[in-house]
């Protein structure tokens, strides 16, 4: 359940802190018109990702789960001139919408969209010994653990990995949950528990998208 207060507060904070953003607004509107699920990050969350990219000085970004391209465009825009985003989308029709949005955003030269299962792209990147500065994990939550595992292989000291939707309305703490997404996120935290050399934290979030959270991993 999404609280109306949280929605109102999000609107208030957006009005206070964010400028009009025709670029991201166009992505959001086209995604909605195309019937994509309303799972993109919020404007405030997009600005949070943008800020993380800027403060970390990231140039090479990997996104796992593109949806309509909202976060990909927000992240591409935060990068220096020689920076770029590699993003993945498993659904062909969603990817077509995303590609059109990316081209309309004029950040197309900074964003490469690969259509296919994220794990295939990850394994191929691992094989190629690619290294990323910033990785946003936001695909199916079932594979959160596996995506984090591969993301760490694509990291260097200083790489920041952000995993979206790790609280799931609080279902995270339901150890008997039969929901595959909850099990996937719990598997990610079980995996994280044993990690060494990675600074980790998580933030619970509440807002227009309800009660959720992001986990952050910084490779040391
Ligand atoms: C869901 C997925 C997301 O990436 C998100 O931000 C919110 C919800 C979902 O699949 O329910
Ligand atoms: Mg998400």
Nearest to 139 by CA among 204, 63, 203, 86: 63
Q: Per residue in 94-115, pLDDT tens?
A: 999 999 999 999 899 999 999 9
Q: Which atom of ligand 1 is nearest to the CA of 210?
A: 7
Q: Which residues contact 103 (CB under 8 A, 6 or more apart)?
A: none
Q: What is the DSSP string of 19-87?
A: ---HHHHHHHHHHHHTT--S-SPPHHHHHHHHHHHHHHT--EEEEE--TTSHHHHHHHHHS-TT-EEEE
Q: What is the mean pLDDT of residues 85-101?
A: 98
The yes-or-no verdict on residue 3 having pLDDT over 90 is: no
| pLDDT for the residue numbered 153 | 98
Q: Per residue in 151-183, pLDDT tens?
A: 999 999 999 999 999 999 999 999 999 999 999
b/e per residue, 191-218, with b = 16+ CB within 10 A? ebeeeeebeeebeebbbbbebbbbbbbb
Residue nearest atom 1 in ligand 1 by C-alpha distance: 39
SS3 160: strand
If one counts the domains in the chain, the total is 1
C-alpha 119, offset from chain centre: 15
Whether 26 contacts 96, CB under 8 Å: no
SS3 163: strand
* Structural domain containing residue 96: 4-219
Q: Is the CB of 71 under 6 A from ligand 1?
A: no
Distance in Å, CA 199 to ligand 1 centroid: 25
**Length of the chain counted residue by residue:** 220
CATH number for the domain harbouring residue 168: 3.40.50.150
C-alpha 143, offset from chain centre: 14
Q: What is the mean pLDDT of residues 117-134?
A: 98
Distance in Å, CA 184 to ligand 1 centroid: 13
Q: Is the CB of 205 under 6 A from ligand 1?
A: no
Going across the sheet that includes 84-89, the strands are: 111-115, 84-89, 60-64, 134-137, 160-164, 210-219, 198-207
Distance in Å, CA 101 to ligand 1 centroid: 20
Confidence of residue 1 (pLDDT cuts 50, 70, 90): low
């Amino acid at each position: 359940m999404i609280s109306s207060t949280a929605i109102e507060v999000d609107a208030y904070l957006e009005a206070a802190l964010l400028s009009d953003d025709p670029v991201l607004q166009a992505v959001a509107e086209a995604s909605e018109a195309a019937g994509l699920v309303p799972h993109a990050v919020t404007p405030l969350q997009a600005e949070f990702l943008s800020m993380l990219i800027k403060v970390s000085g990231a140039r090479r970004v990997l996104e796992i789960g593109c949806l309509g391209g909202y976060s990909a465009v927000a992240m591409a825009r935060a990068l220096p001139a020689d920076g770029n985003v590699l993003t993945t989308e498993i659904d062909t029709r969603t990817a077509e919408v995303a590609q059109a949005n990316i081209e309309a955003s004029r950040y197309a030269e900074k964003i490469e969209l690969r259509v296919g299962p994220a794990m295939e792209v990850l394994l191929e990147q691992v094989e190629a010994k690619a290294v990323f500065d910033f990785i946003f994990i936001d695909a199916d939550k079932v594979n959160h653990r596996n995506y984090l595992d591969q993301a760490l292989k694509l990291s260097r000291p200083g790489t920041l990995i952000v995993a979206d939707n790790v609280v799931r309305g609080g279902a995270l703490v339901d150890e008997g949950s039969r929901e595959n997404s909850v099990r996937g996120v719990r598997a990610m935290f079980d995996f994280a528990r044993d990690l060494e050399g990675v600074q980790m934290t998580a933030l619970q979030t509440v807002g227009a998208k309800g009660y959720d959270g992001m986990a952050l991993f910084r490779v040391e």
